[in-house]
Structure 1
Amino acid sequence: MIKNRLWMIFLAGVLGWVILPPAELNAGSGAETTRPKLSPRNGDLERVAKRLYRKAIKEFENQEYWKATRDLIIILDFYSTYSEIDGVVFYLGESLYEMDMFKSSTKMYKYLLKQYPSSKYLPKALFGLQRIYYNTNELDESLKYFRGISTRFRDSEVLDGAYYYGGMAYYHKDDFTNAIRAIGKVRSRSEFYDYSLYTVGLAFLKKKNIENAVKAMRKLISLPVIRSERLDLQRAAHLTLGYLYYELGYYRESIKHFASIPPDDEIYAEALLARSWSAIKLNDFQQAIISLNRLIKKSDDDKFGEEAHFLLGQCYLELGFYDFAIQQFDFIIDRYPATNNIERRIARVEEGMEQNKQMAENLRVQLLLLETKLLDMIPFPSKDVPKYIKHEHERVNRTRENLIKKILEERKLFDEFRWSVEKIREEIFIKRSRKHWRAYAEYGKARAYFLKTMPTR
Structure 2
Amino acid sequence: MKHKNGADILKSLTRSLKTGCLIFAAALLLTVVPARAMTGTGAGGIPGLILTTDILANFSDFTCAYLNPALLTGVDQSELTLGVRLWGIEWTPIYTSIAVPFLLDHTAAFTFMSVGLNNVPKTNDRGEVLEGQYISAAEYVLQGSYAYRLLPYLSVGANITTIIPDVAEQGELGFTGDLGLRFHPVDDYLLGKVSLGVNVQNVIYKDLGRSSGDEFNKYPLNLHLQAHWYNEYYRTFLERFELSFNCAIMDLITEANNFGDPNFDSSATGDNTDAIKQQFEARGKQFKNISVAYGIHAKWFPFKFFGLRSGIKTNSVIPIGFSLNWKHINVLKRVQVDYDYDISLEDSLSKNYQSWHVIRAIMRFGPTREEAISERWYRQLVKEPQNDFNEAMRLYLAKRYWEASFAFGKVLAKWPSFSKVDIATFYMGKSYEYMQMNDAAREVYQMGLKKYTTSDFRPKFVFQIQNLDYKTHDYDNALKNYGFIMNLYRDADVAPDADYVAGQIYYNKNEFENAINVLNSIEPGNENYLYAQYTLAMLNVHRKNFDDAVEHLGNIIKFDSIRTVSEKSLKEMAFVKLGHLYFEQGNLKFAFGAYKKVPAESRFYDEALLGLAWTYVKGGVEQSYNEAIKTADNLISTRPKSSLVSEAYLVMGYSLTLIKNYTKAIEAFKKCIEMCDARYISREEFKAREATNQDVMRGYGSFQKKSLQLALRKPSPAGDSQREGMTGEWKSFDKEIGDFSIFRIEANSQFAFKKSAVRLKKDAEYALATALHLIETEKKGRILQDTKQKTNQIDNEMDQLQQQLKEMEE
TM-score when normalising by structure 1: 0.78
**Percent identical across equivalent pairs?**
25
- 2:685 equivalent to 1:352: yes
Match of 1:288 in 2: 628
Structure 1 422/400 Cα, relative in aligned 2: closer, same or farther at 3 Å? same
Q: 1:116 to 1:215 in 2, by over 3 A?
A: same
Deviation of 1:254 after TM superposition, in Å, equals 1.1
2:722 to 384, 387, 399: 399
| Alpha-carbon contact 1:99-1:408 (below 8 Å) kept | no
The answer to whether structure 1 residue 451 and structure 2 residue 774 are counterparts is yes
Aligned residue for 2:637?
297
Conserved? CA contact 2:406–2:711, under 8 Å: no
Whether contact under 8 Å (1:220, 1:234) holds in the other structure is yes
Equivalences for residues 14-413 of structure 1 within 5 A: 43=377, 45-47=380-382, 48-61=384-397, 63-82=399-418, 84-227=420-563, 228-283=565-620, 284-301=624-641, 303-332=643-672, 349-379=682-712, 393-400=716-723, 402-403=725-726, 406-407=729-730, 409-413=732-736
Tell me the CA shift for residue 203 of structure 1.
2.1
Secondary structure of 2:506's counterpart equals helix
- Richer in helix (by share): 1
Q: Distance in 2 between matches of 1:221 and 1:85?
A: 41
Cα offset, 1:362, TM superposition: 2.2
Q: Please say if residues 405 and 711 of structure 2, whose CA atoms lie closer than 8 Å, have aligned partners that are also in contact.
A: no
- Which residue is 2:333 aligned to? none
Q: What is the alpha-carbon root mean square deviation over aligned residues?
A: 3.3
Q: Relative to structure 1, is the Cα distance of residues 203 and 396 closer, same or farther in structure 2, using a 3 angstrom cutoff? A: same
Cα distance, 1:402–1:242 mapped onto 2, change above 3 Å: farther
Partners of 1:425 and 1:153 in 2: CA distance = 38
User: Cα–Cα, structure 1 residues 161 and 362, in superposed 2: closer, same or farther, change >3 Å?
Assistant: same
Q: CA deviation at 1:247?
A: 1.6
Q: What is the distance in 2 between the residues matched to 1:132 and 1:158?
A: 15
Deviates more, 1:71-80 or 1:143-152: 71-80
Q: Distance in 1 between matches of 2:417 and 2:772?
A: 86
Identify if the C-alpha distance between structure 1 residues 393 and 430 changes in structure 2 by more than 3 Å, giving closer, same or farther: same
- Larger relative contact order (Cα-Cα within 8 Å, sequence gap ≥ 6): 1
Whole-angstrom CA distance in 2 between matches of 1:152 and 1:88: 23
State how far apart, in whole Å, the 2-side matches of 1:396 and 1:225 are.
Answer: 47
Deviating more after overlay: 211-220 vs 152-161: 152-161
* Contact 1:273 1:295 (C-alpha < 8 Å) held by counterparts: yes
Q: For residues 401 and 178 of structure 1, do their structure 2 counterparts lie closer, same or farther at Cα, with a shift above 3 Å needed? A: farther
SS in 1 for 2:527: coil
Q: Spell out, residue by residue over 1:197-255, the C-alpha distance to the aligned partner (whole angstroms, 9 max, x if none).
A: 22222222233222221111111111115333322111100011011111212122112
The CA distance in 2 between the partners of 1:245 and 1:140, in whole Å, is 37
Structure 1 unaligned regions, length at least 5:
1-33, 381-389
Rg: which structure is higher?
2
Q: Return the letter of the residue paired with 1:176.
A: F
Deviates more, 1:121-130 or 1:350-359: 350-359
Whole-angstrom CA distance in 1 between matches of 2:643 and 2:506 = 32
List alignment gaps of at least 5 residues for structure 2.
12-102, 105-375, 786-810
> What's 1:6 paired with?
none
Letter paired with 1:46: L
Report the 3-state secondary structure (helix = DSSP H, G, I; strand = E; otherwise coil) of the residue aligned with 2:526: coil
How many angstroms does 1:72 deviate by? Answer: 2.2
Cα gap change, 1:219 to 1:81, in 2 (>3 Å): closer
How many pairs were matched up?
A: 407
Q: 1:126 to 1:308 in 2, by over 3 A?
A: same
Give me the whole-angstrom Cα distance separating, in 2, the residues matched to 1:111 and 1:333: 57
Q: Which residue in the other structure is 2:77 paired with?
A: none
Q: Which amino acid aligns with 1:107?
A: E
Question: Is the 8 Å Cα contact of residues 410 and 711 (structure 2) preserved in structure 1?
Answer: no
CA contact (8 A) 2:646 2:672 kept: yes
Letter in 2 for 1:251: L
| Aligned partner letter, 2:660 | G
How far, CA to CA, are the matches of 1:265 and 1:181 in structure 2? 32
Cα 1:322/1:83, change in 2 over 3 Å: closer
Between the aligned partners of 1:188 and 1:321, the Cα distance in structure 2 is 52
What amino acid sits opposite 2:513 in the alignment? T
Residues 289-318 of structure 1: per-residue CA shift (max 9 Å, x gap): 222222233334462233222222222222
